[in-house]
Structure 1
């Protein structure tokens, strides 16, 4: 005789009543899985282990027991996925061993998969929506916990044959597997046909869970670094989701935060700034941790676009710890020292490591250095440029200009000062003169091509050796540097060197390569600044200069060095749309939805001429 199961009978009866009442929230309260479970659940688990022990026959009987939970039509259940889900739920309670996290993860993922299938029912699926969200959160928490334990992940890869896979096959982590399951639930919510579809509708039925599931899926994708998989999610939301404004503030803020981070990672800084600013404005004032996270990405968005955080912003409670990271960065950009800027954002510096953990280091290094060069050029122009003749304002005169040779000297001065403080050697006379890269093994020895060992004419060396190979010399920065014995400072001298005894540098053919290379890089940097609109004017290649025409009205500085934020924002404001942010359709003057719009195509293939009935 089978043992009685009074608690299980009562539990199944209560679940059946909740299904008939379509009370999804209370159903989720009943279907608990996280330990520690209350005493009533422990007693029900004992009944399951005694009456339905693990095995195919017991599982079949338990499945038949769960069939009464949904109404039947023509001899079969109208919602067949739900009894299977309930049978897996009871099996999970009966078989789970919380000390074995891997088995727990696999059982929970199978349970969530079945719950997502139950969610797909057009009539009753909305009942399990809270349960899907609850199970997804538990699965996400467990997957992220396992992801921090490499030994357990290695074990599961060995069990699945992961160690025998080819190296070029990308391995799927537990977090990504969880994100794939949550994405299926998101699709079920997004494609629900209840209510009015499209941007004119309001969230009804399963559509109320669109952003709940999207936010959880985005959290997992950001955790495992698979942001490319989120692109289709944003495209689907743009095409099928109701406007974001119809959803609760917590969902709006979370979604805009992840949307802003996604746009930031794709170098779309203007729409990212709009999304993050909206998330910050709508976030509750007492949610300091959430507002701090938003500011962590909103501030670099603005810095890249040329707007620095104010002191009042950095002194707010939600900005705690951010001033120490961003204030020195802003100071270096204004200072114009590109070498100190690179050192500050190097991978080995504490600041660089903090930015790297937040995922914003490369964006700051790649996008802000051009602002450093702009500040550097502006300072050199202020102190060494020609600002125009005030007496010739009413007459025609040369525009303000800056000789690029002065920029070259200032750059060499920065480099020499950095060498003196860091003890580094002279830059090579090949490759980039402003970017330091490690030596390629194939080109080792080229750095000494300018210092050749003396093996020339003994008579020439006897007469001019103290000049051609001295014990030391002053570099271009005015600092003394030692010379190895017998090393030629200027390379091998010409055979007719005696002709230049009074002026060894009279011949134009004797010249260093480094200044020419450095001047070329400076011209390229200025050309980039002019192309981006961060500086206004033109360059002359012969007798290299940067000239600022049309500076009589506003002055040389405002004309040649316009405000960076105004320049970028004015250009970007031509299209203020944010991909992935669904807004209500704009209304025309007469109150009707505006036709067309940016990015929309109006199909007129079926239109008939005016007057034709």
Structure 2
């Protein structure tokens, strides 16, 4: 039998009154868990430890909590269990042991999410779910920075570092999974009017609160692929984002823009990030600075550089020295300096890597560097057309590709080679692979180009030792699919002929440049220009005999605007055919001819003839 517990009695009585009044905000104020707790909570914890410390007394405590729920027409059994877990959490938690605290708090939040699922009473605990989720997220991210505690958890679960086939689930990801369950319950609530015109009511008001917290955790643990289903569910079931407060809209659009950016959907990402920046309060400088950290590189990839006025704003402090050198390198067209600027280990690359945009900038902006390079060479050495020629005569503006080759080799000569690693400045001397970009040799084929000619017994033996599993396997299938043993170790392709050389086995072997009149550098230049033409970043055509880049139709606008159109205008004109942003629910656009206000149109049928009457 329970003893005298005046503070606990008063607490349970107040909770019952709040449930009766459906006052979820005040209930969340009562259910405090973050230290330091006030004196009244300390007295209640002491009563719990004295009167409800045994399993039998916990049963009695659950019975007392069951009285909190109105008995008429309610089966909200998950809530009394949640309150009982809350009280035992206060009684048992030891804030010095962060791991146990995390496990107890996660169990408490799980039970609160179950209580949230009730169709009639669940909305009362929505503020509490959000409060507990924030505390759990803060604790999980703090523990995630303590690797020694994470290792202890793995040992308790029976995993070791040698379990490479088992994907490690971090505490942050576990927390995100719990928050996602709360998000699903908010999203699937049927309170109010469903559809794109229905304003959020009931638990649906928490859709973006829970979504933003879950996205924050997923970005923290790097599991962005788990967010794909969230965005798909929001697109299918959520009310329009405009019905929610500005703080929720800005946060959601920021995470949506980052997600689209990481999935190379740069134009929709730019729209989402720009909307987040425009709707963010002017005095929220740190939030606007964070948005600009991703909005600016997104625009750079699309061909639009930040203006000086933007970089002088207070929220852009510190971004000028990050992005201005990058923009200058792109406009200069120096691909070697660009690659060095964003190379792993360079001073500038560390900040981009910490933001998670380094590889994206390297991969997506290099083609813009080559466009600037080709444009500058065309300005200096291209044929811009004969202004005296008549409209129907004279060749179009063109550029000999050999001039691009010479300019590439000259650019390489302007950069000092590095002694520590292969340098793009010495790529023209490569005997294999690219002669524009230097990459380290594949160690599996190191020294192959320098091996003696095939036909020498010593060379044959050396090749068989290194590549015997390929040249003379243990067996092979014939053309009818039957297996044949190769017990004598014969060469499957026969004995190499005298005129064969080691390049037949060299994956980097280059054909003789004089055989077809095209050097390796020329072929790479052609490939780069073909990519620019395919993407619409340059306009014209290539000729392979006497290689040239020609710009037809340049008489009206000129060679440069025609052959090198504005990158941003080109991309935006193509992307604007479908300006929808995946994951962003907006009110439906009014159809043509329909009134702007909601409601059906009144049609006057006076004088209409019956069907079939002439």
Class of the TM-score when normalised by the shorter of the 2 chains: 0.7 to 0.9
Aligned with residue 438 of structure 2, among 436, 439, 451: 436
Which residue pairs with 1:189 in the alignment?
186
Which residue pairs with 1:19 in the alignment?
19
Deviation at 1:350, TM superposition (A): 2.0
Contact 1:70 1:83 in 2 (8 A): yes
Contact 2:2 2:57 in 1 (8 A): no
- CA separation of 1:5/1:371 partners in 2, compared to 1, >3 Å: closer, same or farther? same
Which residue pairs with 2:487 in the alignment?
none
Q: TM-score, normalised to structure 2's length? A: 0.84
Cα RMSD of the aligned pairs, angstroms, is 2.2
Which residue pairs with 2:57 in the alignment?
58
Contact 1:429 1:513 in 2 (8 A): no
Q: Which runs of 5+ in 1 are unaligned?
A: 451-508, 595-609
- The 5 Å alignment of 1:134-533 reads 134-163=131-160, 166-394=163-391, 396-420=393-417, 425=426, 427-445=429-447, 516-533=519-536
* Partners of 1:4 and 1:313 in 2: CA distance: 66
> What is the DSSP-based 3-state SS (H/G/I as helix, E as strand, rest coil) of the residue aligned with 1:539?
strand
Which residue pairs with 1:8 in the alignment?
8
Which residue pairs with 2:40 in the alignment?
40
> What is the DSSP-based 3-state SS (H/G/I as helix, E as strand, rest coil) of the residue aligned with 2:399?
strand
Aligned with residue 565 of structure 2, among 562, 587, 608: 562
Which residue pairs with 1:106 in the alignment?
103
* Partners of 1:309 and 1:448 in 2: CA distance: 50
* Partners of 1:83 and 1:513 in 2: CA distance: 83
Deviation at 1:436, TM superposition (A): 1.8
Q: Is 1:117–2:114 an aligned residue pair?
A: yes
Which residue pairs with 1:496 in the alignment?
none
Which residue pairs with 1:542 in the alignment?
545
> What is the DSSP-based 3-state SS (H/G/I as helix, E as strand, rest coil) of the residue aligned with 1:528?
helix
Deviation at 1:591, TM superposition (A): 2.3
Which residue pairs with 1:69 in the alignment?
68
Contact 1:428 1:447 in 2 (8 A): no
Deviation at 1:58, TM superposition (A): 2.1
> What is the DSSP-based 3-state SS (H/G/I as helix, E as strand, rest coil) of the residue aligned with 2:578?
coil
Q: Is 1:591–2:588 an aligned residue pair?
A: no
Which residue pairs with 2:574 in the alignment?
571
Residues 509-552 of structure 1: per-residue CA shift (max 9 Å, x gap): 89699971111110000000000110011000011100111111
Q: TM-score, normalised to structure 1's length? A: 0.84
- CA separation of 1:146/1:125 partners in 2, compared to 1, >3 Å: closer, same or farther? same
Deviation at 1:443, TM superposition (A): 2.8
Which residue pairs with 1:49 in the alignment?
49
Which residue pairs with 1:81 in the alignment?
78
Residues 238-261 of structure 1: per-residue CA shift (max 9 Å, x gap): 111111000000000000000000
Residues 90-125 of structure 1: per-residue CA shift (max 9 Å, x gap): 000000000000000000000000000000001110
Which residue pairs with 2:603 in the alignment?
none
Contact 2:62 2:80 in 1 (8 A): yes
> What is the DSSP-based 3-state SS (H/G/I as helix, E as strand, rest coil) of the residue aligned with 1:573?
helix
* Partners of 2:271 and 2:575 in 1: CA distance: 11
> What is the DSSP-based 3-state SS (H/G/I as helix, E as strand, rest coil) of the residue aligned with 1:65?
helix
> What is the DSSP-based 3-state SS (H/G/I as helix, E as strand, rest coil) of the residue aligned with 1:97?
coil
Contact 1:215 1:255 in 2 (8 A): yes
* Partners of 1:239 and 1:339 in 2: CA distance: 47
Contact 2:179 2:213 in 1 (8 A): yes
* Partners of 1:235 and 1:556 in 2: CA distance: 45
Deviation at 1:199, TM superposition (A): 1.1
Contact 1:198 1:239 in 2 (8 A): no
Contact 2:261 2:298 in 1 (8 A): yes
* Partners of 2:535 and 2:232 in 1: CA distance: 29
> What is the DSSP-based 3-state SS (H/G/I as helix, E as strand, rest coil) of the residue aligned with 1:418?
coil
* Partners of 1:164 and 1:124 in 2: CA distance: 45
Residues 265-323 of structure 1: per-residue CA shift (max 9 Å, x gap): 11001110000000000000000000001101110111001000000100100001111
* Partners of 2:365 and 2:291 in 1: CA distance: 20
* Partners of 2:516 and 2:28 in 1: CA distance: 75
Which residue pairs with 2:556 in the alignment?
553
* Partners of 1:335 and 1:192 in 2: CA distance: 55
Which residue pairs with 1:478 in the alignment?
none
Deviation at 1:419, TM superposition (A): 3.8
Contact 2:513 2:519 in 1 (8 A): no
* Partners of 2:61 and 2:516 in 1: CA distance: 85
Deviation at 1:422, TM superposition (A): 6.7
Deviation at 1:197, TM superposition (A): 1.1
Residues 204-240 of structure 1: per-residue CA shift (max 9 Å, x gap): 0000000000000000000011111111111111111
Contact 2:113 2:129 in 1 (8 A): yes
Q: Which runs of 5+ in 2 are unaligned?
A: 453-511, 599-609
> What is the DSSP-based 3-state SS (H/G/I as helix, E as strand, rest coil) of the residue aligned with 1:163?
coil
- CA separation of 1:237/1:165 partners in 2, compared to 1, >3 Å: closer, same or farther? farther
Contact 1:429 1:514 in 2 (8 A): no
- CA separation of 1:422/1:402 partners in 2, compared to 1, >3 Å: closer, same or farther? farther
